[in-house]
A and B are shown apart, each in its own frame.
Chain A
Amino acid sequence: DIQMTQSPSIVSASVGERVTITCRASQSVSSWLAWYQQKPGEAPRLLIYKASNLESGVPSRFSGSGSGTEFTLTISSLQPDDLATYYCQQYETWGTFGQGTKVEIK
C-alpha cells in the first residue's frame, strides 16, 4: 500500500504570510496527487488535483507542485478563512490520505 506522510503536523502563521505544506509518498504516484481543505465542523473540499491543477472556485493564493514522491501545497498569502486542516491524497492506486496538517492563524 502507498503511504502518505505530511509535514508539518501543525503550522502557525500570520495573516499575509506564505505557508508551505509538504506531502511525501512511499512510492511514486506520478502526478496523481490531490489536496483537500477541511474547515472545522465541515466536510472536506477538493482544492487541487493532479498535483498542480486548481479546482474551480478555489482562490489563486493556493497552488500545488511536485511529482513522483514529493509534493507541496503553498498558500501564498494566508487569510483568516484559510484556518483548516489540509490533507494530501494519492489516487494512483486506490486513494490514500496523509494524516493532515492543521493551519493556525497567529
Chain B
Amino acid sequence: EVQLLESGGDLVQPGGSLRLSCAASGFTFSNYAMAWVRQAPGKGLEWVSSISGSGTNPYYADSVKGRFTISRDNSRATLYLQMKSLTAEDTAKYYCAKDVSWTYLFDSWGQGTLVTVSS
C-alpha cells in the first residue's frame, strides 16, 4: 500500500523559510516522479512543483518559481520542498503526491501538512 506522510508545516512569519518533507513507502520511490500540490484554506487545488524520479528535472508553478526548491533523497524515499521568502499567499495545506508516470496525473496523495504565513 502506498503511503505518503508529510511533515514540517508550521506557523512562519512573512519573509521566512520552511522545509517540508514527505516520507514515502509501499512503492519503489526512485521509479516515480513526485509533486507538491497545495490548497489554501477553503480554496481549490494548485500544483506547485514536480520532480523526476532521478531528481534531475524539477519544475515549478510561476507563483513559486525562484522561491521554492523541490528535491528528493531516493536513498531515504523522501521528497522535500524548501520554501523561502514566504508570503501570506503561501498559506495552505501542502500535499505530497505520487505521479503516475511523469504525466502530472497523481494517483496517491498524502494527508497534507499545514503552512501558515502570518505575523
Using a CB–CB distance below 8 Å, which chain A residues touch chain B? 32, 34, 36, 38, 42-46, 49, 55, 87, 89, 91, 94-100
Contact = CB atoms under 8 A, between A and B. Distances in A.
Contacts of A34: 105
Given A91-B103, A91-B104, A97 B109 contact: no
Nearest to A34: B105
Interface in B84-119: 95, 100, 103-107, 109-112
Contacts of A99: 44
A35 B91 CA distance: 25
A46 B107 contact: yes
A55 B109 CA distance: 14
Contact of A46 (B50, B104, B105, B110): B105
A43 B95 contact: yes
Nearest to A98: B44
Contacts of B107: 46, 49, 55
B45 A87 contact: yes
Contacts of B45: 36, 38, 44, 87, 89, 97, 100
Contacts of A87: 44-45
The 6 tightest CB contacts between A and B, nearest first, are A95-B104, A91-B104, A43-B109, A97-B45, A95-B47, A100-B44
B51 to A, nearest CB: 13
A23 B100 CA distance: 22
Contact of A43 (B44, B104, B112): B112
